[in-house]
A = this chain, B = another copy of it.
């Protein structure tokens, strides 16, 4: 993207959000109070749970959602909205409330992941950008969490930038951390979110040099003995021998990027140990996914570098989250639950509460309670039910503790804790049903 397009996030949206605003301003319905809900009707096939990610970025995006003069001119010149709407947009700021699942929280079908409450106009403008962020970031975090579980404590690192659109790569690195990853190759993500930047070297660096030895010497001269050398450009065995000759027994580590990774890791480990480099680590890469990682559990691997399958959600590159109007002020001025009746796509009317219940310290069910504001105000959950909703924004003011760098490790901790409370089949890579049922109740 070029440098002048990020003045605001206000055009990162579908045209119809603006034309609906325009029509609603004209007929006087734009200020009707509304509750929109983000949820998904289903998890990707066979998945046991999903991981919410992106809410911190949504708070950033809403902060930056102010059309610039250039953007307003675009809307006006292209007759997308009328002059009245341009006036309304002049000093646009979202003034409503947002509550939802914490970043890192697990979600299931029909979990009310985010609820956006405010005037119709301000809520509808945010639809596309909220869904863009939640759908992609949660897809990556959900895949990452499965990989991290399969890695059983060995660190997983994001190396997927080259297999995702350049902006998505940054979002993916961040979402991977929510899913439990410990570093990223992507420098912009490292800079923006304080994620540990990691990297080794490419085959091109070895090929650039007249010999593999010269390449290794150059890398160690620049980065120190503790660096990780790439060993599969020519012969892995020769490379490992050269690596230890050049770096000595303090060699940091080696990376293997091709072949039968399990057998190779075993041979390389034995070779490194025989050469005295007992502390040198082994990183493996090469189209890893959660299944490949699980299959390497018995191999002497120290860390996993994951690319394509991380940034493409391991077969599920987007979630199926939607943004639906569930309650709105009617002509009478009273709030009324609403729902569309489209075949196969009907939604549960009314605002929602959400709780997780437990039995013997294990999660038992997701409880979604729907109703109007009054009914929900008097609802009392059973003892021990965990309230899943937090306030992200109140009257347009963001709770900044959910935003920025510090929110990221907390999101991962929350994910790890939520996952540890799940029945053990949550960790199964076999296809199956969501690990707990979602029970809905209309009051």
Contacts and interface: CB of A to CB of B under 8 A. Distances in A.
A85 B297 CA distance: 40
A18 interface: yes
B188 A5 contact: yes
Interface stretch (A86-94, A106-114, A130-138, A422-430): A130-138
B217 A80 contact: no
Contact of A133 (B9, B166, B201): B166
A166 B20 contact: no
A258 B341 CA distance: 10
B187 A258 contact: no
Contacts of A192: 2, 5
Nearest to A231: B342
A222 B14 contact: no
A128 interface: yes
A365 B7 CA distance: 47
Nearest to A136: B165
Nearest to A158: B14
Contact of A13 (B161, B167, B200): B161
Nearest to A185: B14
Q: How many copies does the complex hold?
A: 2
A3 B18 CA distance: 22
Interface in A354-377: none
Nearest to A63: B2
Contact of A128 (B161, B219, B344): B161
Given A200-B16, A259-B343, A317 B312 contact: yes
Contact of A171 (B22, B165, B218, B324): B165
Interface stretch (A28-36, A144-152, A271-279): A28-36
A60 interface: yes
Given A166-B133, A208-B24, A341-B233, A198 B60 contact: no
Nearest to A22: B222
30 contacts: A1-B61, A1-B171, A2-B6, A2-B64, A3-B8, A12-B187, A19-B201, A19-B223, A20-B205, A23-B205, A23-B223, A24-B208, A27-B217, A29-B218, A36-B204, A127-B162, A132-B169, A133-B165, A135-B162, A135-B164, A164-B318, A165-B168, A165-B171, A165-B172, A168-B168, A207-B339, A210-B331, A233-B342, A258-B344, A259-B342
